Chain A
């Protein structure tokens, strides 16, 4: 009886010890399917492929993918124009204002195909998986709601609160900066 109780206790205590799955290798057919997004005609918003939901939105909810996205953010020189999210030559991610909407599919399309006024296309520089990872991270920088998954910490000096510290719009309520011609009227 006691042995049963002890083993039940151990089982209960270790039940939370499950580790998050790391998808290290994306099968080529899956990667090809992930590439076929549907965008609205104006290039803003749209739908990710069905497989994205079948995989349970891995690039928004998985900490490993977000960390990889954070590495790619500095590897591919995003900081040159967008800084740590504060913006510069390119728009900011922290102000809660998305020129093409906050959906991950818009961010994916912006990175893959580029956008007018200076955003280059990364189609020939990154794989589909990498673009998804980077898009997930960029979305996390300017998320409207707190995400439960967070990327790795910074080694460098912090220039802003960590990515999972809460919605960007609340923290940086400076109002949108009209630096983009297509941005439309200030709300």
Chain B
């Protein structure tokens, strides 16, 4: 008795645990972008029609099994009435199959065509996938409107945004399930993807093509916001880094510039111009560091700098031996770069 009750509870929990992934900021079922909505509609249509077909097939099969038992005693040999009826059923089933497949083909053709929306006048962002983070370059009509950032894409709501996707080392794939479908980032090739968020919010995306040790920790955030907020964000991102406001932060800047940090990272407005690692000009203003690994706080910055290989083993950030004072001041400096 008790085992049966347990089994019942487990059976009831199974679908709910399966469906638990259907909401949230990284779900194709919670579609808030133009492409994601049309993909979701196509998916729902296919699932509904296929479920109906499956139910019909199973019903016919059950009926056939049931009737087969009754007719065991019947004489062998073709019966013209049954033959005609069988022929009608086969023709009807074939016709229905052709119609269903034709509908699927036409609907998916139009869905696919609706996915490429953005033109050349739209906001364009170059996305460089590399082990294991996302480099972003907002392109503009003039060079001083361009700027670099990483792992956090801001877009205006209700507008098409064109992403130019490039792979730096191996093949990666960008998937923000709430906004659009998947698109690969392939070395030596440029793919395009259009994002269009219909509602403001934060949408999480992830690399969806296995790309090495830290593939699972290669996330990015798409933040869709109203046009005014977005314009304000873009203006502040174009600015150079803020100057140190106190002695500790100034000491941190000195540490950053004199140690290997500056060889790989750029902070605009200083002598740090490395391009191998993420641009840190406004790192303190981003929600996460290390491609979605840790929330940006002074503590997590210090943890990351002091031992990146324990937090994200195999990533390309080396462990730079710093003294406690140096670590304290450099984390204060990076956290101050809003």
Contact = CB atoms under 8 A, between A and B. Distances in A.
Interface of A: 22, 24-26, 28, 31-32, 71, 75-76, 124-127, 129-130, 155
A155 to B, nearest CB: 5
A20 B314 CA distance: 14
B259 interface: yes
A126 B263 contact: yes
B313 A129 contact: no
Interface in B301-334: 307, 309-310, 313-314, 316, 318-321
Contacts of A76: 263
B112 interface: no
Contacts, number: 42
Contacts of B263: 76, 124-126
Contact of B314 (A24, A31, A125): A24
B276 interface: yes
B305 to A, nearest CB: 12
Interface of B: 169, 187-188, 258-260, 262-264, 276, 307, 309-310, 313-314, 316, 318-321
17 contacts: A25-B309, A25-B310, A25-B319, A32-B321, A71-B169, A124-B258, A124-B259, A124-B263, A126-B260, A126-B263, A126-B318, A127-B260, A127-B318, A127-B321, A130-B260, A130-B318, A155-B169
A21 to B, nearest CB: 13
A32 to B, nearest CB: 7
A75 B310 contact: no
A129 B321 contact: no
B259 A71 contact: no
In order of increasing CB-CB distance, the 9 nearest A-B pairs are A25-B309, A125-B263, A127-B318, A75-B276, A24-B313, A28-B321, A24-B314, A24-B309, A155-B187
Contact of B188 (A26, A32, A155): A155
Given A32-B321, A126-B260, A71 B316 contact: yes
Contacts of B260: 124-127, 130
A19 to B, nearest CB: 13
B184 to A, nearest CB: 15
Given A124-B258, A127-B260, A28 B319 contact: yes
Contact of B264 (A25, A75, A155): A75
A32 B321 CA distance: 9
Contacts of B187: 155
B318 to A, nearest CB: 4
Contacts of A75: 264, 276
Given A24-B314, A25-B310, A127 B319 contact: yes
Nearest to B258: A124
B313 A25 contact: yes
Contacts of B313: 24-25
Given A28-B319, A124-B258, 14 more contacts: A25-B310, A25-B319, A28-B321, A124-B259, A124-B260, A124-B263, A125-B260, A125-B262, A125-B263, A126-B260, A127-B319, A129-B318, A155-B187, A155-B188
Contacts of B314: 22, 24
Contacts of B316: 71
B239 to A, nearest CB: 27
A125 B256 CA distance: 11
Contacts of A24: 309, 313-314
Contacts of A32: 321
A129 B169 CA distance: 21
A107 to B, nearest CB: 19
A47 B314 CA distance: 29
A62 to B, nearest CB: 14
Nearest to A32: B321
A31 B259 contact: no
A155 B187 CA distance: 8
A66 to B, nearest CB: 15
